[in-house]
Amino acid sequence: MNHLQEVIAKIEKARIAYSRHQVIKLVAVSKYWDIAQIIDLYNGGQRAFGENKVQDLKAKSAELENYPLEWHLIGTIQENKINTIISLAPALIHSIDSLKLALAFQQRLEREGKTQRALLQINSAREESKSGVDPNEAKEVYLAIKESCPNLLLEGVMSIGAHSEDEKVIAKSFEITKNIFDSLPNAKTLSMGMSGDYELAISCGANMLRIGSALL
């Protein structure tokens, strides 16, 4: 039994409180789930799923290839996995965390004549345990990727909320990301909010959520 409908109801309540015009996409983070749990959520209407590890994305997407699922890659990326990622062609990569990584993707995408949708990860909480570009450099890095990596279709930003019990601290980290997002030309995706803080993320403008444990 999953909690998909309960989570959707909470998302809807938070969305309406923020703006009736806001459209929010839910990515179900399936990194700890087995195939049966993913199918259970699929049967409940969920279509977008996110994996942290490239090998898990490869295995699960292969096993579920007969289902019309949309796969997202949301974890930290090692350059030696780029070729595999490109061959898997996820709907969206959430975790481009440097210009160096973007350029490595660009080189291989160009060589293969492919494009890949992606987000720039921002370390808005400025926590050493998190990947992502520094908020002060985020706009500059984003624009540099847009200019130098035409095959990497950057369409917005992602961040992870501050690791804190204090809602104000978490909200501050989301607001930093939102302000950067608002400053970017033609950015459309703001991926923020996980199981413990997604309602707060919506109140700060998130339009894409990455929710795992709250769904099961």
Residue 131 — very low, low, confident or very high, per pLDDT cuts 50/70/90? Answer: very high
Percent of the chain clearing pLDDT 70 (strictly above): 100
Task: Kindly state the average pLDDT of the residues 71-97.
Answer: 98
Predicted local confidence at residue 109, as pLDDT: 98
Residue 1 has pLDDT above 90, yes or no: no
Predicted local confidence at residue 2, as pLDDT: 94
Give the pLDDT confidence of 41-78 residue by residue, as tens digits: 999 999 999 999 999 999 999 999 999 999 999 999 99
Task: Kindly state the average pLDDT of the residues 96-100.
Answer: 98
Backbone torsion region of residue 205, taken as left when φ is above 0, otherwise alpha when ψ lies between -120 and 50, otherwise beta: left
Task: Kindly state the average pLDDT of the residues 121-135.
Answer: 96
Domains of the chain: 4-215 (3.20.20.10)
Counting beta carbons within 10 angstroms of the beta carbon of residue 175, is it exposed (0 to 12), middle (13 to 18) or buried (19 or more)? Answer: middle
Structure tokens at 61: 């997407």
Predicted local confidence at residue 159, as pLDDT: 98
Task: Kindly state the average pLDDT of the residues 10-18.
Answer: 98
Residue 118 has pLDDT above 90, yes or no: yes
Task: Kindly state the average pLDDT of the residues 26-33.
Answer: 97
Give the pLDDT confidence of 145-182 residue by residue, as tens digits: 999 999 999 999 999 999 999 999 999 999 999 999 99
